[in-house]
Amino acid sequence: MTDWAQVRANGFAVPAGRPVDELVAELSGMLRSPDPQVRDGQAYSTLATWIGEGVLDADALRALGEEMVTRFADPEIQARTFAPLILDAIISQGVFEPSWVPPFERWYVGEEDLRGFDPKLGWLHAVAHGSDLLAALARVQAVEPVQMLRLGVGRLLTPTEYVLRDLEDDRLGFALGVALTREDLTGADAVGWLDPALRAVVTVPAAGFAPEISNTLRTLRVVYLMVDHGVRLDDERPNVQIPHRDQVKAKLLEVFQTATPYYF
């Protein structure tokens, strides 16, 4: 077994004496660990660094991506929620397979365990980690941007008893903002994805807004900020302005006015 704590201490230098594919397989297995130090502090941090530094070639990245896609059906929550982080890193390196998208979509909308931080398991963060992958996919030209917008609002509106509390609304709001920067997004699609949210807030139940409605409204307020100020896609250029900016802002405002007319 490799001393992965030492690898981290050494700046994530690749250990000598073992093939890289064996090291990656070991790290991949560690991503399922319920121990957050093993999973997050060692496996994820090492793999993400190696992927970003080009240690893995395209074939190795593709194979690792295929393995991560199977994790969306894993019985362990921590295994499911760390898969999108690795896929985000892989796709950000330019390796992408269309077959990865449907399993991610099914998991992201269907995941019921929305805990952010767990005292024993550490960070789980299904919504936030899925948001990171959604943002990466939204930048892939082979993926329709409206597909990611609909996925994001579908995740938000899925009934839940959990109110997001660990800045998941910021992460998902940013991801939706990234999708809205796509030049090939039509005006109709740039606002049409908000129709389910508008329908959901038309009538306030006697018992008050459900958690998913609160989650949706808070996330859409982040989207409004993105639309108003532009989206920071990287550190090398100014914020990217969103096409159809005025129409999207008007549609978002319609959602907010419908939900809380006493504020407008």
Over residues 30-67, the pLDDT tens digits come to 999 999 999 999 999 999 999 999 999 999 999 999 99
* Cβ neighbours of 149 (radius 10 Å): 25
pLDDT band of 118, cuts 50, 70, 90: very high
pTM score: 0.97
Over residues 62-77, the pLDDT tens digits come to 999 999 999 999 999 9
pLDDT band of 204, cuts 50, 70, 90: confident
Over residues 219-239, the pLDDT tens digits come to 999 999 999 999 999 988 899
What does the pLDDT read at residue 112?
Answer: 98
What does the pLDDT read at residue 190?
Answer: 98
Range in 125-134, 149-158, 196-205 the model is least confident about? 196-205
User: 16 to each of 12, 20, 52, 59, 155, how far by Cα in Å?
Assistant: 12, 9, 19, 21, 43
What 8-state DSSP symbol labels residue 253? H
Q: Which H or E run includes 261? A: none
* Measured distance CA(179)–CA(197) in Å, rounded: 17
∠ CA 43-169-96, nearest 5°, is 50
Query: Looking up tokens 């909308």, which residue turns up?
Result: 109
pLDDT band of 258, cuts 50, 70, 90: very high
Q: What is the mean pLDDT of residues 113-141?
A: 98
Alpha helices in 2-138 (DSSP H): 4-9, 20-30, 36, 45-53, 58-71, 77-92, 101-110, 126-138
